[in-house]
Structure 1
Amino acid sequence: MCRYIIIFLGIVFGSTVFTRPKTIRQYKLIPLWSWGTIICCQDWSLLKENFLNCILLLPAGALLPAIVNHKVKWYQALLVGIAISATIEFCQLIFMRGLFEWDDMIHNGLGCMVGCLLANLQINGDEEV
């Protein structure tokens, strides 16, 4: 099971850091800035980006209970997702391969948490059988 998460994270890092063209160092340091823009300016492309960031780490969260062989608490999955996302964001900042922003870390963490909660539901379903 561990190899699946490694392969998955390799694909995620490849698509979010290493396949992007080099640009200038970019960052947004205001948490949840994207939601303000979505609400004020009806920027639906940002809403789509936020949704895609939520589902980016959903598979990682779904794999967590299988990797540790027991249920994972929601806040643990959230922290794992934020940690993975922070690594991605800092790589983007250091290698100048994208926009460093807190919003991505928040949304990726939430997606990881949702994936874990869904996997935990499956574990509950298996225990009842």
Structure 2
Amino acid sequence: MFFSESLGRTDLSVGYRYNLEPFREIYRCIRYWDVLGPLNASMNLIGNIVAFMPFGFILPMLCLSNRRWYIVFLLGLLCSLCIESLQLVTRRGSFDVDDLMLNTLGSLAGYWCFLIAARFRRQLHKKR
């Protein structure tokens, strides 16, 4: 969202760009790793995942009904869709279906971290 200009995704001189083809941007980052540079390519791929991990970690702590993986999945997808749609409407950043997938994966990764932390916490309290 904030770094798309540095990744060559929003050259407004040729018109607004968006991606509706799954895995297109992911493939581009992997294929042109050397051209984009490891920092920019990994920022796009890993950054989209890491950016949504707190969402998947904190959401189950806020409400007991959000402790099911599919709830975190759907809310992560919805939140990401809202952000991507806002980018499309405002033409700030670049709407990308790959970002939706990576952000949703990040929500699930945060949820898995929550499950690990909860299990560790239960074991710690059980020992006391």
* TM-score normalized by the length of structure 2: 0.73
Could you say which structure has the higher strand fraction? 1
Per-residue deviation at 1:118? 0.7
SS of 2:67 mapped into structure 1: coil
1:75 aligns with 2:65: no
Amino acid at match of 1:25: Y
Per-residue deviation at 1:69? 2.9
Between the aligned partners of 1:98 and 1:118, the Cα distance in structure 2 is 29
1:112: which partner in 2? 107
2:26: which partner in 1? 35
2:88: which partner in 1? 93
1:52: which partner in 2? 47
Alpha-carbon contact 2:84-2:95 (below 8 Å) kept: yes
2:17: which partner in 1? 26
Higher Cα Rg, which structure: 2
Unaligned runs of 5+ in 2: 4-11
User: What are the Cα deviations for residues 16-49 of structure 1, in whole angstroms up to 9, with x where unaligned?
Assistant: 9xxxxxx553311111112221333334322321
Alpha-carbon contact 2:30-2:41 (below 8 Å) kept: no
Between the aligned partners of 1:34 and 1:80, the Cα distance in structure 2 is 23
**Overall identity of the aligned pairs, in %:** 25
User: What are the Cα deviations for residues 64-91 of structure 1, in whole angstroms up to 9, with x where unaligned?
Assistant: 1111136723333222211111000000
| Root mean square deviation, CA, Å | 2.3
Distance 1:85 1:52, change over 3 A: same
Unaligned runs of 5+ in 1: 1-12, 17-22
